[in-house]
Amino acid sequence: MTVHSFFNIILLLYLLSFPVLLEINKRHFKGKNKSLNVVTRRGRAIHPYVGALLIISGAIHGYGKLDGELTLHTGSILLMLLILNGILGFIFKKTRKRNLALLHRSVGIAIVIAFFVHYLKPWLI
């Protein structure tokens, strides 16, 4: 695994930790844990930028690993899901429609599954 791959995993883990911390704060602490409130407020502010960075970094990773050849691959499917989720997140932020938030989280789960498929069987397709 290259340093670039490890960097992408760290970004993905950060993005996944954000909704987990939100749920822990909401369900366990009823939103009253001040330190978690600060962390989630700051996390909410940088979450879209980290997502955009992961999309760019993932595209660079795939381009480099495939020697500049565009090929349908488990990584390209993962990248498409990341782009879709970024678009959904952006539209949700502008409209505040709850069904888009649910869809954003559902695609997030699909991203986790696609990541494990990509990591374990990159040439499955």
Instruction: Give domain status of residue 10, yes or no.
Output: yes
Q: How many CB atoms lie within 10 A of CB 62?
A: 20
* pLDDT at 70 (0 to 100): 86
Average pLDDT over residues 107-118: 97
Instruction: Give domain status of residue 82, yes or no.
Output: yes
What is the average pLDDT score of the chain?
A: 94
* pLDDT at 1 (0 to 100): 78
How far is Cα 95 from Cα 76, in angstroms, rounded to an integer?
28
* pLDDT at 6 (0 to 100): 96
Residues spanned by the domain of 107: 3-120
Give the torsion sign (CA, 91, 103, 110, 70). Answer: negative
Q: Which H or E run includes 64?
A: helix 34-65
Instruction: Give domain status of residue 28, yes or no.
Output: yes
Instruction: Give domain status of residue 31, yes or no.
Output: yes
Instruction: Give domain status of residue 89, yes or no.
Output: yes
Rg (CA), the chain: 16
Instruction: Give domain status of residue 91, yes or no.
Output: yes
Residues 6 or more apart whose Cβ sits within 8 Å of residue 2: none
Does residue 74 sit in helix, strand or coil? helix
Number of structural domains in the chain? 1
How far is Cα 12 from Cα 82, in angstroms, rounded to an integer?
10
Instruction: Give domain status of residue 125, yes or no.
Output: no
CA 93 to each of CA 90, 99, 100: distance values in angstroms, whole numbers, following the listed order:
5, 12, 9
How far is Cα 21 from Cα 19, in angstroms, rounded to an integer?
5
- Residue 125 pLDDT greater than 90, yes or no: no
* pLDDT at 35 (0 to 100): 92
Please, which pLDDT band fits residue 94 given cuts at 50, 70 and 90?
very high
For residue range 15-59, list pLDDT tens digits in order: 999 889 989 998 999 988 999 999 999 999 999 999 999 999 999
Instruction: Give domain status of residue 77, yes or no.
Output: yes
